[in-house]
Amino acid sequence: MAETPPEKTTDLAATDPAGQVFLWLIEGQRTEDIVRVVAEKYPGSNPDCLLADAMSRFEIVADADTKVIKGWCFESFRELYRRMVDVGDYKGAIAVIKELRKECS
């Protein structure tokens, strides 16, 4: 079974429950798990409202300029490559390089 939200939270959780819900959605957490954890961690909060707020953040990002998205992708590739080299995952690092080269062709 996938990790459920209670085991992984961020500092954002204390100040922005909708932001935490947004991060859980990005992680691929199940909506049912998020609703359950919202009830536990944020009593009195409306899980549907928090989910709607999180979803609206996806809408905002969807309107981002393609140059911004491309730049984010390149920086993400760089970060993945760096982390893979740090842990000795050279096969993964090479895969990142190949993927980036494919995207640049």
Q: List pLDDT tens digits, range 23-76.
A: 999 999 999 999 999 999 888 899 999 999 999 988 988 888 999 988 988 999
3-state secondary structure (DSSP) of residue 11: coil
Range of the domain at 42: 5-62
User: Domain check: are 54 and 89 in the same one?
Assistant: no
Is the separation of the CB atoms in 34 and 5 below 8 Å? yes
What is the signed CA dihedral for 82, 83, 86, 87, rounded to 10 degrees?
-150
pTM: 0.59
The amino acid at residue 103 is E
Q: For the chain, give the longest Cα–Cα distance.
A: 52
Domain total in the chain: 2
Q: Does one domain contain both 90 and 44?
A: no
Are 58 and 72 in the same domain?
A: no
